[in-house]
Amino acid sequence: MLKINNLHVEIDGKKILNGLTLHVKPGEVAAIMGPNGSGKSTLSYVVAGKEDYTVTDGEILLDGVNILEMEPNERAAAGLFLAFQYPLEIPGVATMTFLKAAMNAQRKSRGEGELSPGDFMKAVREAAKALGIDPDMLKRPLNVGFSGGEKKRMEILQMALLRPKMAILDETDSGLDIDALRIVAEGVNAQRDPRHGFLVITHYQRLLDHIVPDTVHVMAKGRIVKSGGPEIALELEKHGYAEYVGEAA
Amino acid sequence: MAAVKETVETVKTIDVDQYKYGFVTEIETELAPKGLSEDIVRFISAKKGEPQWLLDWRLEAFRRWQTMTEPTWSRVHYPAIDFQDLHYYAAPKRTPGPKSLDEVDPELLRTYEKLGIPLREQEILAGVEISKVAVDAVFDSVSVVTTFKAELAKVGVIFCAISEAVREHPDLVRKYLGTVVPTSDNFYATLNSAVFSDGSFVYIPPGVKCPMELSTYFRINEQKTGQFERTLIIADKGAYVSYLEGCTAPKRDENQLHAAVVELVALDDAEIKYSTVQNWYPGDSEGKGGIYNFVTKRGDCRGARSKISWTQVETGSAITWKYPSCILRGEGSSGEFYSIAISNGHQQVDSGTKMIHLGKNTTSKILAKGIAAGRSDNTYRGQVSAHRKATGARNFTNCDSLLIGDKCGAHTIPYIEAKNASAVFEHEATTSKIAEDQLFYCMQRGLDEEEAVALIVNGFVKDVLQQLPMEFAVEAQKLIAISLEGSVG
C-alpha cells in the first residue's frame, strides 16, 4: 500500500532523511519509534506533501502511484491522512463546517456526490459519540481553545469520518493523559481492518500497549535502522535509544 | 455550512481575473454635455422638474465647491481627476419615471436579472423561501423602478426615488436634506450636493417597524459618467428599518467616479440598520480601470435612545474612501460599525468610521476586519471622540487585519479623543497572516488551496457577516471568495 523507497530529504540545505525505505501493507499497523531529531515528523510531513521540504532522491508510492508530484489535497483524496502532532486552530470556522467541507471536497475529487445533510449529521454524531466528544464541541471553532487531548480526539474523529486507506499518526500520544490515550487508541483500533494501513509514529512505548503494532521500525539519523515485531518496542523501553544513535553515527 | 460549500463552488467556477458584473448594457441614453458649470446644475435640476429652493440649494453647493480643493490626507494615490471631463447626468431614454415594471425598458430588467437582483415582484412572490425585499434600482443617474410601494404605503412607509420624494413629499425632504451632511461638509459631499441626480428616500412613520427589508441597487453603466446618488432615510420616533444597498459597474479601462452621500436620521427610540455590499469594478490585475469611490455616509442619532448601525462588506472599487459615521446626539443613543474591507490586486482602501459622542451615556461599538491580498493597500481609519457634555460615553473598538501574501499592506490609524473624564474607550487591534501551516492543514484534509483560503477568511470575518441580513450574508460570503480569487500561490 505505502512504499517509501530510498527517500532523501533536505530542508534549507540540511539533510534530514538519508535513504529511508519503509513499506506498509494493507491491514498492517506499523510503528516508527525513534529519538528526538531522528526525522520522524519530517517523514510524516513529506509524505503528506508539506511545501518546505526538498526531496532530492527516492519515491513515495501509494497503491503503486508516485505521489511526490501531487498537491496535499490530491494526496488526501487518494486516501492519505495525517493526524497532526500539533493540530491547527481555525478561528471562526465551526468544527462541523470544517468536517463537512473536508468530506465533501474529498468526495468531489473522487467523483462522488455530496453527502446529504442527514447522512452527514448521522455520521458525525456516531463518530463523536464513539470518541466521547461532546456534541456542543462540534459547534465551536475547530481546535480553538481545545485542550491537547480534545485536539487529538478531534484528529481521530476526522480520520474516522474520512476513512483514509493509509493513516499516519504523528506522536498522537503526546500531551495525552492515560484516559485520553485509551480513548484515542480505541478509536484507532476500531478502524483496523484488512484494507486499511496505519503508520504510528511515537517516541514512547506506552501508546503501543494500546495500539498493538504488527511491525516496529526504529528510526535514527533519517533512516530505518532496525525492523521487527512488537518485541522491539519493549527492548527500547528497557535500553533506550543510545545503541541506535551510536550505530547510525 | 451550506454557504461555505457555495463559496467554495463559486470560486471553482470562476476564471481568474473575471469580474462577473463587468458587462455593458446597450441602451439608449440621454447624456448631459461633459463638464461642470452652473448651467449643468440648472440642467440637472430642470430635468428633475425641481422646485426653486432645491435649485438654489444646489447652486449654493456648487459655488462653495468651486472654492474647495480635493483632500489629500488619505493613504490612497491616484492621478488628478479632471472634473470637466465627466458627464454629470446620464439617463436611460425610455424611462422618465416609470409607473410600474411594465414601463421599464426590458433591456434594463435583463441587466438587473444578470446581476441576480430580484427586481420582479412576481419572482419574489413565487419564491416560497425567499423573504420579501423591496427594491429601488438606480441606473446611472435615475431611479429605474421601486417595488412593493403599495404594500409599504399601507403601513405609511415611504420608499421611493429621492427625485420623486422632492415632488411628492417636499416638506419631509426639505426638513431633513443636508441636515446630517451639510452642503459645506467636504469636497465630494459638496460636489454631490450640487449635482446629485437620484437615489433613494425612505421615511418610516412613528412606531412603525418596516415590514420588509428595503434595498437599493446602484449600477453605473455609461462611459465617463460620475454617479452621484443621494440617499436620505428617516426613522421617526420608535420606528425601525433595515436597509441594504448593493453596487456594481461594468468593466472599463478608464476610471469611473462615484461620490455618493447617505444621510440617516433616527429620532427618539428609532433604529436604523444600514448594510452595504459594495462590489464596484476594482480594475484589472494590472491596476487599470476601476471605480473611484468617494462616499460620505453619516447617521444622526438625533433622538434619545436611538440606534444606528452600519454594516459593510467592501470588495470592489479601485479606490475606496469612506467612513460611515454616527453622531450620537440623543441621550443614551448608540452607534455600531461592522466592516469587512477586502482588497486584492492593486486596490486601495482607506476606510473606517467616526463615532462622535455628544450626548450623555452614549455607546458605540466598532468591529472592523481588513483583508489585504495581492499588491493592495488596506487602511482602517477611525475616530472616536467624546464631547465634554458626553458623560458616561463608552466605546469598544476592535480592528483586525489579515494579510495574504507578502506584497500587500495593512494599516490601522485610530484617532481617540475624550474631553470628559467619565468616558471609557477601549481599542484592540491585531494583524495576522494566514499561516502556511493552517493552509497545509486544510489541504491535508482535502480542500484545495483556494477553498482553504476561503474557509479561513470566512472564519476571520464571521462576527461581521453575522450582522448582515441572512439573505445577503450568503451573497457576501460568495463575494469574499471571488474577491480573493488568485490571491495565493
Run of H or E residues at A240: none
Cα B211 from Cα B133, distance rounded (Å): 9
A188/chain B closest Cα distance in angstroms = 18
What is the residue type of B130? I
Q: Could you tell me which residues are beta bridge partners of residue B366?
A: B337, B397
pLDDT higher than threshold 90 for residue B476: no
Q: B199-236 pLDDT, tens per residue?
A: 889 999 999 999 888 877 766 655 556 778 899 999 99
**Chain A residue closest to B448 (CA)?**
A73
B456/chain A closest Cα distance in angstroms = 7
Q: B320-374 pLDDT, tens per residue?
A: 889 999 999 999 999 999 998 888 888 888 889 999 999 999 999 999 998 888 8
- What CATH number corresponds to the domain at position A50? 3.40.50.300
Among A75, A88, A107, A139, which would you mutate to test the B interface (most chain B Cβ atoms within 10 Å of its Cβ)? A88
Tell me how far CA of residue B238 lies from CA of A88, B8, B49, B268, B454, in angstroms: 47, 42, 34, 6, 40
Q: Is A73 helix (H, G, I), strand (E, B) or coil?
A: helix
Closest Cβ–Cβ partner in A76, A114, A141 for B444 = A76
* Residue A180 · residue A152 · CB < 8 Å: yes
Query: What percent of chain B lies above the pLDDT cut of 90?
Result: 38
What is the residue type of B106? P
**Chain B residue closest to A101 (CA)?**
B5
Q: B299-323 pLDDT, tens per residue?
A: 999 999 999 999 988 887 788 889 9
Has this prediction a pTM greater than 0.80?
A: no
Q: Is A174 helix (H, G, I), strand (E, B) or coil?
A: coil
ipTM for the assembly: 0.95
Tell me how far CA of residue B480 lies from CA of B10, B86, B178, B210, B350, in angstroms: 10, 31, 34, 29, 18
Residue B46 has a CB neighbour count (10 Å cut-off) of: 10
Kindly report the backbone phi and psi dihedral angles of residue A245, in degrees, each rounded to the nearest multiple of 5, phi listed first: -60, -40
Would you place residue B474 in the very low, low, confident or very high pLDDT band (cuts 50, 70, 90)?
A: confident
Tell me how far CA of residue B270 lies from CA of A89, B176, B333, in angstroms: 41, 16, 10
B78 and chain A: CB distance < 8 Å anywhere? Answer: no
Among B340, B437, B444, B461, which would you mutate to test the A interface (most chain A Cβ atoms within 10 Å of its Cβ)? B444
Q: Is A88 helix (H, G, I), strand (E, B) or coil?
A: coil
Cα B32 from Cα A227, distance rounded (Å): 86
Cα B249 from Cα A249, distance rounded (Å): 67
Number of domains in chain A: 1
pLDDT higher than threshold 80 for residue B268: yes
pLDDT higher than threshold 70 for residue B131: no
Domain that holds residue A49: 2-248
Cα B379 from Cα B389, distance rounded (Å): 31
